[in-house]
Each structure stands twice: as C-alpha cells, then as structure tokens.
Structure 1
Amino acid sequence: MTPAQRSAELAANLAEVHARIGLAAAAAGRAPDDVTLVAVTKTWPASDVRLLAALGVTDVAENRDQEARPKHEECADLGVRWHFVGQLQRNKARSVAAYADVVESVDRPELVTALDRAAGEHGRVLEVLVQVGLADVPDGSPPAHRGGADPREVLALADVVAGCSSLRLGGVMAVAPLGPDGSPVDPRPAFARLAALAAEVRAAHPSATVVSAGMSGDLEEAVAAGATHVRVGTAVLGGRAGLR
C-alpha cells in the first residue's frame, strides 16, 4: 500500500469514527467538540502517526515503552500529544516521563512517586490520569490484566497526584471490564460508576476534568456517560499491523 493509499484509508476511518462520536454526543446532548479522539497507534509504524497528524489527529497513544520511545523520537517534530496508556512499572517511569505528555494508567502511590521524581529530573510537568479498576471480582480488586486502582482508593490517589510538584492531575481513566470468559459485557454500568467517581474527583480537584473511557467497540456508551476522551485503535488504524 502506498502512503497515499494508506492516508486515504485512514481518512475514511477517521471520518467514520468522528461521525460515531458526533451521533453519540448529539444523543447525549453534548457537543462533538467536547470529545477528543486519541488514536491508539500501538503496533503501527511511525509513518502512520505522521499520516494521522497530517489528517488533523492531535493525540496519539501507546502502551509499551520499548515501542513508544523510538516512535516518539521519529515523530517529535509533529506537535502531537503522546498518551501512555499501558500498565507501567516503576523502573520504566524515567523513560516514559521523558516523552509522554499524559500517563493515563496511574493506579498506585509508588508509581506516582516514581513519575513525579522522573518528571522533575527531566524538567517537565506530566499530566496524569488515575486509572480506575471497574471489574467486579470477589475481593474487590481489579484483575491484573485490566489494571486500575480500587474505586474506594481513587480519591485518595488523586490527592497524592495533586500534591506532586512535577505532576498535574488531569482526571480519571478506565477500561470497560470483560466477562469471566474474557468476552465483552455491557459497559454501561461500569461507565456510570466511572462517571460518579470522576465527579467526586472533580469536586475535590476542579481542574481534573478529563474522563478517558471508551474504545472502538464501546465509544458510544462512554460518550453517553460523559467521556471527554475516547481511545480508538482498530476503528481508526485497522487490525493490528502484524495480523493484517
């Protein structure tokens, strides 16, 4: 596929996703501009990031440092905002803090401390979202593969972030839970819970207005629940690059 053909494919996909966002926003009595599309570019080459930027995409997301770091270096001139959305280990905090504009997957105090220290060393202020675990499991903690802080601890974790000198609390993020067999379930109850937690965080920290929720398969439900950012990969870029 030539760059021109790929650009045309991406443009068509973006038009469809923006149309879905517009319809969902209208149904919820919201303006489409209230919802930011974050294109999830994991497994796709830096050339696609360049094409997306040329098509007006302002925010891209990655979930693995070893892929995100070199891709950012290749695309540093584009002026897009880089979101890190994967589960993050403390030993990767310094690397991620060097290039990410937003870390959406903060779910424990020790990671907050590591990111604050790393951002300070790089002379940067990093936006952080508290990831909320929304899965219902017997002990009240989210499955490790989905990540997220216990909902009962979200406000306290937000307070910790807000007290850091090199971090800025942006709001909250969540991934809709899966069923026991790994299949999708109705995301609306989980997104409603996220909306309630987001309101609690905003009441304590009025500038924390971001609600990042919704992906290719459930962005309509997320927008209906008040998402300000939707993270869309497949519907924009297609199936994973290695699987095409």
Structure 2
Amino acid sequence: MSEQRRAEIAESLREVRERVDAACRAAGRRPDEVELLAVTKTFPAADAALLADLGQAAFAENREQEARGKVAEFASLRPESSARWHMVGQLQRNKARSVVRWADVVESVDSTRLAEALQRATANAIAAGERTAPLDVLIQVGLDDAAGRGGCPPTDVPVLAAEITRHSDLRLRGVMAVAPLGGDPDVAFGTLSKIAQHLREDYPEAVDMSAGMSGDLESAVAHGSTRVRVGTALLGGRRLISP
C-alpha cells in the first residue's frame, strides 16, 4: 500500500473523528456515545486493513456479494483484528445464509420474512460451527416512500420488533434509517429518535440508533444517533466496481 494512500486515509479519519467529537460537544453528549462505522463498499480490503491499523474497529458493507470476499481478504490481511462487520444495505432473503457467515450485525431488517430467514440461517450457521453467537440486528425504518431504499414503515415497527425478539438466535439492538434524499435531515432524524425511544421502552437492550452519513452526521448526532455510517468522507469517491 502506498504511503500516499496511508496518509490520505489517516487525515480523513482524523477529520471525521473531529467532526463527530464536535457534534457530540454541540449536543451536550460524550464522544464515546457515538460509534464511527466505516463504510467500505466499493473499496478494497487493503483500505479497511489500513483503517484497522489506525484504530478503526467497525466496518460496513452494502452488498452481500461484494462483502463476502472482502471480509475474507481482510481476515487474511489482519488475522489478529477483532473488527466487527455490519451489513447496512438491502438484503434479499436468499442471501441470509451467506450474510450470517461474515456479518456480526445486520442493520437492514425491514420485514418479518427477512427476520425469519435470518433466524433460520443463524441457527444453521451456529450448528455448523460457522458462527459462535446470535446475530445482532437493527430494524431499518423507512422515512420516505422512495423505491429501492428499503425500510419498514414506522407504524409497523412494533410488529417487526415483536417478531425479531421471538427468535432465539436474533438480538434486537435498535433502529437504523437513511434521511430522505432532498429532505430535511433534522425532521427525519427527529422522527427516528422518537421511534427509537419508544422501542427502548419496550425492549431495553435495543439501544442503538444508527443514523447519519458523511453529509448529515451532525444532525443525526444532535438527535441521538449512537452510530454514524461514513464512507465518502473517509475514503473518497468510489474506487472499485462491485462484483
């Protein structure tokens, strides 16, 4: 890996961490209340390895097919790493068996049928020795009607939460959402914050609110986000063509 790339990523990581810290201070929160999730989609495993060397511990992918090989390559590059991998993109039920083999967390559960598929896949993976623990999941909440973005309607969140907690190999950890394109992120994250609070009242372990990306992380932190998902601000424009 070139020293130039190493320097670029180190500087970007420093700047993003400073933004998160500043957003926490502005919101009267501690910086350790917000986790930085590095979104490495379309970037090589070597970039993720460099981020790990710089202290980054959590990574995210959007496409199961791309992630599968990348996570394996990362493990070969950094075999001692304890990095956690999150699936944050839309997930088809027929990919459940594959995703549970590499993902520690699936943040994009938006239907009872997907929850059922993940339960079956996780149970089978544990029985086969491919996993050692249940799968942490977040409910993806749809905050707009845009096609192709996924998300459970806000009114359906209680039903989906009940379904997830019925499964012994899934652990409900909270909610995730993407602010609507062209919309006011403060409105979107304010809505998500209320949904997250109601969920915590019924399920005290569902403490995560995954919200905020490169362009709107400050707004998300102000509304209580516990995890921001940052790709462009860390790694720049797309470098790879996804397989």
Output the TM-score relative to the length of structure 1. Answer: 0.92
Equivalent-residue separation in structure 2 for 1:3 and 1:152 (angstroms): 49
Residue type matched to 1:9 in 2? E
Partner residue in 1 for 2:70:
71
Residue type matched to 1:130 in 2? I
Comparing 103-112 with 74-83, greater Cα deviation is found at 74-83
Q: Percent identical across equivalent pairs?
A: 56
Q: Deviations over 1:66-96 (max 9, x none)?
A: 1100111112222211000110000000000
Equivalent-residue separation in structure 1 for 2:3 and 2:200 (angstroms): 44
Partner residue in 2 for 1:139:
none
8 A contact 1:35–1:229 mirrored in 2:
yes
Partner residue in 2 for 1:215:
213
Residue type matched to 2:143 in 1? L
8 A contact 1:40–1:231 mirrored in 2:
yes
Cα deviation for residue 4 of structure 1 reads 2.1
Cα deviation for residue 185 of structure 1 reads 2.4
Cα deviation for residue 174 of structure 1 reads 0.1
8 A contact 1:106–1:128 mirrored in 2:
yes
Equivalent-residue separation in structure 1 for 2:165 and 2:209 (angstroms): 16
Q: Which runs of 5+ in 1 are unaligned?
A: 136-141, 179-183
Partner residue in 1 for 2:44:
45
* Partner residue of 1:91 out of 91, 94, 112: 94
Matched, 1:224 2:222: yes
* Partner residue of 1:109 out of 107, 112, 125: 112
Equivalent-residue separation in structure 2 for 1:200 and 1:191 (angstroms): 14
Equivalent-residue separation in structure 2 for 1:42 and 1:192 (angstroms): 27
Cα deviation for residue 7 of structure 1 reads 1.4
Cα deviation for residue 145 of structure 1 reads 1.8
SS in 2 for 1:168: strand
8 A contact 1:155–1:200 mirrored in 2:
no
Cα deviation for residue 194 of structure 1 reads 0.2
Residue type matched to 1:19 in 2? E
8 A contact 2:44–2:240 mirrored in 1:
no
Equivalent-residue separation in structure 1 for 2:226 and 2:170 (angstroms): 20
Q: Which runs of 5+ in 2 are unaligned?
A: 127-132
Equivalent-residue separation in structure 2 for 1:19 and 1:186 (angstroms): 23
Residue type matched to 1:222 in 2? A
Equivalent-residue separation in structure 2 for 1:110 and 1:186 (angstroms): 31
Partner residue in 1 for 2:25:
26
* Partner residue of 1:177 out of 172, 176, 180: 180
8 A contact 2:143–2:177 mirrored in 1:
yes
Residue type matched to 2:61 in 1? E
* Partner residue of 1:144 out of 119, 142, 147: 147
Comparing 32-41 with 70-79, greater Cα deviation is found at 70-79
8 A contact 1:146–1:177 mirrored in 2:
no
8 A contact 1:39–1:60 mirrored in 2:
yes
